[in-house]
Amino acid sequence: MNTFCKHFMASQGWRLRWWRNYFLSRSAILLATLCGLPGIRFAWFGIHCARVCRKKGKTDIAEYLNVTPVNCWRYFEFDFARRVLINNPPVGRALDISSPNLFGLYLLNKRRISHLDVVNPDTLDLATTRALYEACIGDAEGRVEYHKKYVNELQWGDNTFDVIWSICVIEHIPGSGDEEAISKIERLLKPGGLLVLTTTVSAVGWDEYRDQDMYSLPEQNVQSSSGVFFERWYDESSVKGRLFDKMPKMQLEQMTIWGETKAGWFDAYQRRWARMGASETCKDALNMLTRFRKYSFAGELPGAGVVCMCLRKKME
């Protein structure tokens, strides 16, 4: 086979895989919609954003959103955060701490916030967020500002924000950084302000290490014989000790826990994801529908889960 034919077959193979993943993704989303998967509206919103991005020439973002508009248990996290914020009046100023970009865009699109500050130390991720926002809402009439910073570098004064959300971020901060970030978040919130916080959880807490840094943040790297720190799995005692106890001015209003129904499924899923990419994540809507359920407390979890919390800052 000559070189041209090899390149042609390779390109056709890529196209066939993409269309296969696209078909599987749409089938999973349609079935999950019929069965009432929480957060499924965000899959359709992501697909809408994909169409807009394609028209604006952002084909790489469009191709990703068309196949994996929402990833894994973001369905549950987005749904929880949406319900909290939709059931409260629109707010003036909000802070998004490195959360998956689709959620902030959704709130801007719904005009639930007047001004949004997006904080993310990951240069590539922040650039992708900016490209997505600008494609879908232009400059958002000056309603969005982007900041390449860590939480502990934020210079805003106390009582600045009406709402802060951080969706599955806090667990990736090594050492005591999560406790410092939580204390900082409490100070930044206005009295009466809301914090939506989600993080990984399990019956028994532990720290997960990987072979390489997943986020290209060398200053955050904490290495051991087990590899590079990736995330912390909180249990009930560490949620209280590392999070709640560091926010004495905050009052818990709502908490929901979602987790896998069979221990080990999520770990195997992550390995398939690393190996297969979108060929695995294209089925996320169906997997969340069939592999996860609600739990009353973290001690019930057979394996991996996510806890979603809404806290309000007490009036002074």
Which pLDDT tens digits describe the chain residue by residue (316 residues)? Answer: 444 334 333 445 667 889 999 999 999 999 999 999 999 999 999 999 999 999 999 999 999 999 999 999 999 999 999 999 998 888 899 999 999 999 999 999 988 899 999 999 999 999 999 999 999 987 656 889 999 999 989 999 999 999 999 999 999 999 999 999 999 999 999 999 999 999 999 999 999 998 876 665 655 555 565 688 899 999 999 999 999 999 999 999 999 999 999 999 999 999 999 999 999 999 999 999 999 999 999 999 999 999 999 999 999 7
Can you read off the two tokens belonging to residue 61? 């973002």
Can you read off the two tokens belonging to residue 34? 């019929």
> Are 291 and 234 a contacting pair, CB within 8 Å?
no
What values do phi and psi take at 251, rounded to 5?
Answer: -120, 125
3-state SS assignment for residue 37: coil
> Are 117 and 147 a contacting pair, CB within 8 Å?
yes
List the Cα angle 200/121/118 in 5-degree steps: 85
Pairing of strands 113-119, 91-97: parallel
Residue 198, H or E segment? strand 189-201
Side-chain-side CA neighbours of residue 100 (13 Å) = 23
Give the Å distances, CA to CA, from 260 to 15, 73, 142, 199: 33, 10, 41, 15
- Domains assigned to the chain: 3-313 (3.40.50.150)
> Are 51 and 265 a contacting pair, CB within 8 Å?
no
Can you read off the two tokens belonging to residue 246? 């560091």
Q: Is the pTM of this model over 0.95?
A: no
End-to-end CA distance of the chain: 76
